[in-house]
């Protein structure tokens, strides 16, 4: 459920007209709804009722805007980060270090040192090699790093291959069968405080069965680890719960369904559970607002050319993702069209033969469910500045990231000495 609704024929984010935001901020622009974010946090938290003080660590990669993170920090969430940059963003937004979990397969020694000096809650290690490096860094600093190993349970999450992470040949985690050896090695390292297990099998999961299977394996492993003498006090179950993108498809399992499954599978584990939801918290809380530049005649269907491109919202191009595309002020007429951006690639196609609101040049369209993995994956391809972002709260709204001027892009390039002063 979200707070993007038609009022007097114009789509609003809460009490603010998207047309008003477009008029002032220009397009393309991402718009987020605070009430929707708050609602999703509440629903997710309620879904986990009955668990012993779970930590909800928002997956920062889904939407790292400081205002979004500050909203979530204000609601008591922690953060799951995968780089020094995300760690600094989470801290800057007011997330307490103790609620930060550092995931990722390629942490560098510098990033480890940053996490250690800031005093983050847990490092999720993905290999024995990484454990050895972290132990060395922590020993040099005279501290013991709180760690879990991320386990690869060899479970196919049944999602898009590019966002599936728990199959044996995916790059993530320590192979389930090698986990006991990896823990033995970590326990022998001086700079580590081994305390947990972690798992994350993929994103946009629309079936709970693979997660249930993966968690069940983790439950078995916890028992084996304890039998081997390890004190396991945390279990990080990752993120991944899907959200509805296409109203014509079955609705993915709800947070309540997910919570019930978790309660059932983890009963008796006697650990503090950690969750790393990203998409389910912010996905439906954002739209990408764009303007139709022109409608170009096509052979089969017309091409609706909008001023947002694959550089602003890459998901359709990268994962064949489906985003609902609506007119901000629908006339009631419907049409079938191809929706494309201005980028010089055929991949810059948001939808083909889409039955949707009829739109014409100058009309505004909203790409729905763009709050997760939208602005954060934007890039400057075709020399387009990064997309601005706006946030609505009730009747108020504010720009929370400026449009990047092309001058900033040009200024970031440097001319080597041999090219300076030689332009003709």
Torsion angles phi and psi, residue 265, rounded to 5: -70, -35
- Does residue 354 belong to the site contacting ligand LLP (CB under 6 A)? no
- Does residue 146 belong to the site contacting ligand LLP (CB under 6 A)? no
344 assigned to active site: yes
Q: Tell me the C-alpha to C-alpha distance, in Å, between residue 98 and each of 52, 117, 197, 218, 277.
A: 17, 12, 17, 24, 18
Q: Virtual CA dihedral for 97, 103, 105, 106, nearest 10 degrees?
A: -20
Cis peptide before 28, with omega less than 30 degrees from 0?
Answer: yes
Residue 304 tokens, joined:
């609706």
Torsion angles phi and psi, residue 123, rounded to 5: -100, 130
CA pair distance 136, 39, nearest whole angstrom: 43
* CA dihedral (358, 361, 362, 365) positive or negative: positive
* CA dihedral (42, 55, 236, 320) positive or negative: positive
* Alpha helices (H) in 204-353, listed in sequence order: 209-227, 255-266, 279-282, 315-319
Contact window for ligand LLP (CB under 6 A) among 19-27, 234-242, 383-391, 415-423: 234-242
- Does residue 173 belong to the site contacting ligand LLP (CB under 6 A)? no
Q: Are 286 and 391 in contact (CB under 8 A)?
A: no
Choosing from 111, 126, 130, 276, the residue that interacts with ligand LLP (CB under 6 A) is 276
The closest of 372, 369, 206, 393 to 284, measured between CA atoms, is 369
Contact window for ligand LLP (CB under 6 A) among 66-74, 239-247, 263-271, 397-405: 239-247
Q: Are 37 and 279 in contact (CB under 8 A)?
A: no
- Does residue 203 belong to the site contacting ligand LLP (CB under 6 A)? yes
CA pair distance 105, 111, nearest whole angstrom: 12
Choosing from 10, 51, 70, 163, the residue that interacts with ligand LLP (CB under 6 A) is 163
Q: Which is nearer to ligand LLP, 84 or 277 (CB)?
A: 277
Residue 236 CB, nearest approach to ligand LLP (Å): 8
Choosing from 196, 238, 255, 341, the residue that interacts with ligand LLP (CB under 6 A) is 238
Number of residues that bind ligand LLP (CB under 6 A): 21
Residue tagged active-site, from 1, 248, 267, 344: 344
The closest of 249, 286, 390, 380 to 62, measured between CA atoms, is 286
DSSP state of 241: B
Choosing from 121, 253, 277, 302, the residue that interacts with ligand LLP (CB under 6 A) is 277
Contact window for ligand LLP (CB under 6 A) among 237-245, 249-257, 259-267, 330-338: 237-245
List the interface residues with ligand LLP, window 40-69 (CB under 6 A).
59, 62
Choosing from 153, 219, 240, 341, the residue that interacts with ligand LLP (CB under 6 A) is 240
Residue 356 CB, nearest approach to ligand LLP (Å): 21
- Does residue 373 belong to the site contacting ligand LLP (CB under 6 A)? yes
Question: Which distant-in-sequence residues (6+ apart) come within 8 Å of 303 by Cβ?
Answer: 295, 296, 297, 337, 338, 339, 340
List the interface residues with ligand LLP, window 310-349 (CB under 6 A).
315, 319
Q: Which is nearer to ligand LLP, 146 or 302 (CB)?
A: 146
Choosing from 278, 316, 371, 388, the residue that interacts with ligand LLP (CB under 6 A) is 278
Computed on alpha carbons and rounded to an integer, the radius of gyration of the chain in Å comes to 23
Contact window for ligand LLP (CB under 6 A) among 83-91, 177-185, 197-205, 379-387: 197-205
Residue 420 CB, nearest approach to ligand LLP (Å): 40
Q: Which is nearer to ligand LLP, 79 or 137 (CB)?
A: 79
Residues interacting with ligand LLP, by CB under 6 A? 59, 62, 80, 103, 163, 200, 203-204, 238-241, 276-280, 315, 319, 372-373
What residues are annotated to the active site? 344
């Amino acid at each position: 459920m979200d707070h993007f609704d038609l009022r007097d024929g114009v789509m609003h984010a809460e009490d603010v007209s998207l047309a008003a935001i477009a008029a002032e901020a220009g397009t393309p622009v991402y718009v987020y709804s605070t009430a929707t974010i708050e609602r999703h946090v509440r629903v997710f938290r309620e879904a986990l009722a009955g668990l012993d003080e779970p930590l909800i660590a928002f997956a920062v990669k889904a939407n790292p805007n400081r205002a979004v993170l500050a909203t979530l920090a204000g609601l008591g969430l922690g953060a799951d980060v995968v780089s020094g940059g995300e760690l600094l963003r989470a801290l800057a937004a007011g997330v307490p270090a103790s609620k930060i979990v550092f995931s990722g397969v390629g942490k560098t020694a510098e990033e480890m040192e940053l996490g250690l000096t800031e005093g983050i809650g847990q490092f999720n290690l993905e290999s024995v090699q990484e454990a050895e490096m972290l132990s060395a860094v922590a020993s040099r600093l005279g501290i013991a790093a709180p760690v879990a190993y991320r386990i690869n349970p060899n479970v196919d999450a049944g999602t898009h291959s590019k966002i599936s992470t728990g199959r044996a040949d995916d790059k993530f985690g320590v192979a389930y069968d090698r986990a006991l050896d990896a823990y033995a090695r970590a326990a022998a390292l001086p700079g580590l405080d081994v305390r947990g297990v972690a798992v994350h099998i993929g994103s946009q999961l629309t079936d709970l069965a693979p997660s249930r299977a993966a968690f069940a394996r983790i439950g078995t492993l916890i028992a084996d680890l304890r039998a081997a003498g390890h004190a396991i006090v945390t279990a990080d179950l990752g993120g991944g719960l899907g959200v509805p993108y296409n109203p014509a498809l079955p609705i993915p399992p709800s947070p309540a369904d997910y919570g019930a499954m978790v309660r059932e599978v983890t009963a008796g584990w006697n650990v503090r559970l950690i969750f790393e939801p990203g998409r389910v918290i912010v996905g439906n809380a954002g739209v990408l607002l764009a303007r139709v530049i022109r409608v170009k005649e096509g052979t089969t269907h017309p091409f609706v050319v909008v001023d947002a491109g694959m550089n602003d919202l890459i998901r359709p191009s990268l994962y064949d993702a489906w985003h609902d595309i609506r007119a901000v002020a629908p006339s009631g007429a419907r049409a079938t069209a191809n929706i494309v951006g201005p980028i010089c690639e055929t991949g810059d196609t948001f939808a083909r033969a889409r039955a949707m609101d009829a739109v014409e040049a100058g009309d505004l369209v909203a790409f729905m469910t763009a709050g997760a993995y939208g602005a954060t994956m934007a890039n400057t391809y075709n020399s387009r500045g990064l997309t601005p972002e706006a946030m609505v709260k009730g009747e108020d709204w504010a720009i929370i990231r400026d449009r990047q001027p092309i001058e900033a892009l040009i200024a970031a390039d440097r001319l080597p000495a041999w090219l300076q002063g030689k332009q003709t």
